[in-house]
Amino acid sequence: MSILEAQKIYKSYGNKFNRQEVLKGIDIQVEKGDFVSILGA
């Protein structure tokens, strides 16, 4: 049983001339009892 689900996550930094993509369409599913950590600037 999932307690959290996210699909097609995208994230980028910068502007239209200098863009850095850091997440490119990722999916995540967290089940009961899982430990999750998010790291980054």
Rg of the Cα atoms in the chain: 13
Tell whether the model's pLDDT for residue 41 goes beyond 90: no
Average pLDDT over the chain, rounded to whole?
A: 92
Please, which pLDDT band fits residue 13 given cuts at 50, 70 and 90?
A: very high
Distance CA 19, CA 28 (A): 24
According to DSSP, the residues that pair with 23 across neighbouring strands are 11
Given this model, what pLDDT does residue 24 score?
94
pTM of the predicted model as reported, rounded to 2 decimal places: 0.63
Confidence of residue 12 (pLDDT cuts 50, 70, 90): very high
In the block, tokens 């430990």 appear at: 35
What per-residue confidence (pLDDT) applies to 30?
Answer: 95
- The burial class, CB within 10 Å (0-12 / 13-18 / 19+), for 17 is exposed
